[in-house]
Structure 1
């Protein structure tokens, strides 16, 4: 109604009267305000449909402003009374607007975009029809007069176009930033550590990093770790803890995300709980494979593993050895670990990542055991250890070495000696971590996502060393297990993937740095 009113001429009788009592400036400003009010109400209609609390208050404010604008623009009291009636009916509905989310995180499905386009096209067509007798001239855009309705319509078209263009650019270039997670207390960290060590997946130790929020089940026996953005809540891995609580916990997570008008996304989920995600209407996209070594049969005998065997022997002859430290010994070594980590980051010219990858944080490092390589009492490399109580699996997370004084092959030696130490300790599997975008189908009839992923995997070496990482892990003859991202059926899957990449990388710049 506001846009149609702004597109049509002011009623002559009303114009005659207001031209005697109202400055032209008021009329021109009221016309622009009524146009903006109409555009905002079109925008807010989606927020009302989603029951956002911010949309409730914004609608009240915009309706009140629109009533004043219609009054000053052309004494359009009938339209103003209609808006007043809408405002009176709308005010008592506050209890229905229970979602707390920003208006700028709203997503418009195709049908909403088509409806808005139809309304704008209708208002524009009515304006051109109303002024088709007016010959176009360039100076129409800046003509200001009580009776110059056609220039006011052209300015309406300009304001509408600028609004749509600005909002479109905002949505195209905006990737949601992660919100800051609450700081973990010592009690929270101890509670998470107890459940993580008793779980069946080493990635549960990522909950100890402090960069993710934690949603607990009602009994406190299971949790989901996740990062929040205004548009997406991204869970890291499967739920952790008592598997009997997973179904209700997944619904709880989705309900909380929905309450904030966000989509629930599950990143790097395993193949153990796929029915839980499928039963919730999610679609699964394979994002890579996790490499695991079966320790009881692992060895370095024979010609195939000759290089690994020679590397271990050489490092031992040169005086290097592996040590597992924790507690007071780890506290004493922490300054040396910090120096090595900072030196490694500076040499590699990279920033710390997070979410699905560990970063150097003293509280996080202290919550695990650490494997260090020493020679003559000096530490040359280290990696913190994720190990489960049932000894089903063990893995290394953050791995750093002294880039200046370490001999060649230091990281592989750290891997190998830790693998043999874990084998001697009775662990069953040694996790080598993810190989992103590996294991996707190459068949001509493969899903579109697999074709896109394979293309990035083969030709994206400037962004990430996909093939090199897979080749390095393949030297250990691992068993490969798929990992997926579970997302709601939405056309915004590319934006979901960009958001996850930004969360992991800590920003756009980190997304384009090799690790």
Structure 2
């Protein structure tokens, strides 16, 4: 008998140690930067720098007072933004902090006397010294999707702010430079100096309160023009459309050799992919708020999973990201914990039904049977086939219907959705079932392929005006017709906190479990946690636990929030900007 191939090596102890026992230096220096930033802002506001740098002022325009005050405030605001990148160990944040702190010290030294801002200056010197001493702690690479968009946003805001500011200045041109109709060139120059902190009343023949208002507006425009691009430059990336053809091909080859119920969902367009050194395994992921989040188990041979985990953690370490895994199986969780020492928490169960054993007979299926029979009598029929066999007109109509029937404006899905509808080019082996009445489609399900004999629920949509029970009809008929397509294993969905809902209502449940169940029931109003569990339970599935993996107990909140955002359960308001750049 041939010897089994050697197991791929997992992550090194050094890499694991940086997640389990991370250095506290970047975080503490980042906190110090917050204090230095606030101190500099307070010093500029409480005692404006109008009497500073008498020698330097002779070489600068007469508006130097406004420039210096604006610089003090802007530097403090920049430091507030830079501090977050410094806390994450970003090299880009380190350089930005060094430049800002150095410029602040230059202004202090240029006074020619002892610093007049002892607290702010002390914090500035201390932060600068610590950054230089601990330079090697700040080696994390920049997030890959933020550079160019920040540049384009800056250019767009600069042009629009200058034009808007010049228009404001021209409105009051009769008070400026003794010119009744100020030209656009002079107006643009005045707007630019105003955005840098110049008080327009200093240039006016007749100072007015309205000019003071315009000066304030220009300062706000200047702050927005600079701060928004800096925020985009330093923030965590929002990945869009990262899967390329080579990654997609590699994932499909791995899935063909080692199918997994959630594996196919890694082909989502908004994920990225990292392979083990041998190429026998890989992990699909997305970066959300500084968390590199994997979904499900690694793809490929389980013997090669440690190699994929090593590549995943090396990528996380190089960028200063916190690693997390959402929805891995018990086998996957065991390997993750064994190889890394990370923590595992059960968060729910996947419902899987054997279609060859499914039946509506028996008392336990009475409610489902009655609902399905009732809706059949109302004229509903179903048809089930693979996407590659669907007529072209079906696909166009299904895409339009799925979009129209979607509740809310946010497309949910990360670990159990492809976000593709009837895509014959990318998902030819996917299976769809539609419910019609009098020839009109009223509901549909789409199942992603799971090897040669399985399918996983991907999409569930229905006409809001359709009769109750249409989803039950679709599930029942999908299970009944699945064997005809060679499908035995059917994964219905992932029910979060299923065990809590099930055990919390039983006799003898403790007060903590009951309180946790009541809290989840409150969340059910928005996230349909209990509703999804009870819907899946109707079909008597076998429940398979799924887990979330995270490095330390303190990371569970951050990983959980990232998972909530990835699945679109947590949606923050987004600032929509008209200026978009490439990667």
TM-score bracket for this pair, using the shorter chain length:
0.5 to 0.7
Counterpart pick for 1:276 among 335, 338, 344: 335
- Counterpart for residue 320 of structure 1: 381
Assess, with a 3 A threshold, how the Cα gap between structure 1 residues 266 and 452 changes in structure 2: closer, same or farther: farther
Residues 378-410 of structure 1 show CA distances to partners (whole Å, capped at 9, x for unaligned) of 54432222233352x322210223344x44422
Structure 1 residue 401 and structure 2 residue 462: aligned?
yes
How far, CA to CA, are the matches of 1:76 and 1:476 in structure 2?
A: 79
- Counterpart for residue 403 of structure 2: 342
How far, CA to CA, are the matches of 1:252 and 1:300 in structure 2?
A: 47
How far, CA to CA, are the matches of 2:346 and 2:561 in structure 1?
A: 16
How far, CA to CA, are the matches of 1:55 and 1:327 in structure 2?
A: 50
How far, CA to CA, are the matches of 2:399 and 2:84 in structure 1?
A: 50
Counterpart pick for 1:240 among 289, 299, 317: 299
Report the Cα offset of residue 196 of structure 1. 2.6
- Counterpart for residue 194 of structure 1: 253
How far, CA to CA, are the matches of 2:72 and 2:131 in structure 1?
A: 19
Report the Cα offset of residue 210 of structure 1. 0.8
Residues 78-97 of structure 1 show CA distances to partners (whole Å, capped at 9, x for unaligned) of x99xx99x989988998885
Contact 2:383 2:434 in 1 (8 A): yes
Structure 1 residue 98 and structure 2 residue 139: aligned?
yes
Counterpart pick for 1:58 among 96, 102, 105: 96
Report the Cα offset of residue 316 of structure 1. 6.0
How far, CA to CA, are the matches of 2:557 and 2:131 in structure 1?
A: 37
Counterpart pick for 2:554 among 484, 491, 502: 491
Report the Cα offset of residue 224 of structure 1. 0.9
- Counterpart for residue 281 of structure 2: 222
Assess, with a 3 A threshold, how the Cα gap between structure 1 residues 309 and 63 changes in structure 2: closer, same or farther: closer
User: What secondary structure, in the 3-state scheme, does the structure 2 residue paired with 1:219 have?
Assistant: coil
Report the Cα offset of residue 216 of structure 1. 1.9
- Counterpart for residue 299 of structure 1: 359
Contact 2:273 2:282 in 1 (8 A): yes
- Counterpart for residue 263 of structure 1: 322
Assess, with a 3 A threshold, how the Cα gap between structure 1 residues 75 and 40 changes in structure 2: closer, same or farther: farther
Comparing 436-445 and 489-498, the one that deviates more: 436-445
Assess, with a 3 A threshold, how the Cα gap between structure 1 residues 471 and 64 changes in structure 2: closer, same or farther: closer
User: What secondary structure, in the 3-state scheme, does the structure 1 residue paired with 2:111 have?
Assistant: helix
How far, CA to CA, are the matches of 1:72 and 1:407 in structure 2?
A: 78
Residues 118-176 of structure 1 show CA distances to partners (whole Å, capped at 9, x for unaligned) of xxxxxxxxxxxxxxxxxxxxxxxxxxxxxxxxxxxxxxxxxxxxxxxxx9xxx9xxxx8
How far, CA to CA, are the matches of 2:77 and 2:469 in structure 1?
A: 63
Report the Cα offset of residue 50 of structure 1. 6.2
- Counterpart for residue 147 of structure 1: none
Report the Cα offset of residue 343 of structure 1. 2.7
Counterpart pick for 2:494 among 431, 434, 451: 434
- Counterpart for residue 26 of structure 2: none
Report the Cα offset of residue 303 of structure 1. 3.2
Residues 345-370 of structure 1 show CA distances to partners (whole Å, capped at 9, x for unaligned) of 2xx34532121242345545556232
User: What secondary structure, in the 3-state scheme, does the structure 1 residue paired with 2:434 have?
Assistant: strand
Counterpart pick for 2:449 among 384, 387, 396: 387
User: What secondary structure, in the 3-state scheme, does the structure 2 residue paired with 1:265 have?
Assistant: strand
Structure 1 residue 254 and structure 2 residue 316: aligned?
no
Assess, with a 3 A threshold, how the Cα gap between structure 1 residues 325 and 421 changes in structure 2: closer, same or farther: same
Contact 2:495 2:529 in 1 (8 A): yes
Contact 2:561 2:570 in 1 (8 A): no
- Counterpart for residue 473 of structure 1: 536
How far, CA to CA, are the matches of 2:403 and 2:79 in structure 1?
A: 52
Normalising to structure 2: TM-score of the pair? 0.60
In the alignment, structure 2 segments of 5+ residues that lack a partner are 1-31, 44-51, 147-226, 575-583
Normalising to structure 1: TM-score of the pair? 0.67
How far, CA to CA, are the matches of 1:338 and 1:18 in structure 2?
A: 66
How far, CA to CA, are the matches of 1:186 and 1:344 in structure 2?
A: 31
Contact 1:27 1:74 in 2 (8 A): no
Report the Cα offset of residue 492 of structure 1. 4.5
Assess, with a 3 A threshold, how the Cα gap between structure 1 residues 334 and 19 changes in structure 2: closer, same or farther: closer
Assess, with a 3 A threshold, how the Cα gap between structure 1 residues 403 and 40 changes in structure 2: closer, same or farther: closer
How far, CA to CA, are the matches of 2:486 and 2:518 in structure 1?
A: 40
Contact 1:31 1:73 in 2 (8 A): no
In the alignment, structure 1 segments of 5+ residues that lack a partner are 9-16, 106-166
Kindly tell me the number of residue pairs found equivalent between the two proteins: 423
